[in-house]
């Protein structure tokens, strides 16, 4: 991700025929990078709620009007993945800024304060 003039990369290994095959059917596919690695993409200002931590491809919480991401991680202040109010990722949307499609949105008691960080995302597939 590129935020300002800073570019951060994370390597993710996921076997598939194509990136399209991972995303097109809308099915959730888990990854295991961990919240700290996802936060590294944003940098020191990254913020997520401490619970849920559902990550991967096509990630949504039970309430689909809240945070969602095509590739990324979701957080929640409650001890479940019901109404997630924070996210880091690519192809994101939902509350509270549906126009922030790449970066970090964090509201309702996130670990590093409220954040509304828009980024430029790059995805390289091999």
Which H helix or E strand runs over 42?
helix 35-42
For residue 96, what pLDDT is reported? Answer: 83
Number of structural domains (the chain) is: 1
Distance CA 60, CA 4 (A): 28
Domain contains 123: no
Residue-wise pLDDT for 21-78, tens only, equals 999 999 999 999 999 999 999 999 999 999 999 999 999 999 888 999 999 999 999 9
Domain contains 126: no
Distance CA 96, CA 93 (A): 8
Domain contains 75: yes
Terminal CA-to-CA distance of the chain, rounded, Å? 18
Domain contains 125: no
* CA 64 to chain CA mean position, Å: 14
CB contact at 8 A, 46 and 37? no
pTM of this prediction exceeds 0.85? yes
Find the domain containing 83 and state its range. Answer: 2-10+17-118
């Amino acid at each position: 991700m590129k935020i300002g003039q800073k570019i951060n990369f994370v390597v993710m290994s996921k076997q598939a025929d194509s990136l399209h095959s991972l995303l097109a059917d809308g099915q959730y596919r888990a990854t295991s990078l961990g919240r700290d690695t996802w936060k590294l993409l944003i940098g020191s200002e990254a913020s997520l709620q401490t619970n849920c931590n559902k990550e991967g491809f096509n990630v949504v919480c039970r309430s689909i009007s809240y945070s969602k991401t095509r590739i990324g991680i979701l957080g929640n202040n409650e001890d479940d993945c019901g109404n997630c109010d924070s996210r880091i990722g690519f192809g994101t949307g939902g509350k509270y800024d549906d126009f922030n499609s790449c970066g970090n949105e964090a509201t309702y008691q996130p670990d590093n304060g409220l954040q509304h960080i828009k980024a430029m995302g790059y995805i390289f597939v091999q």
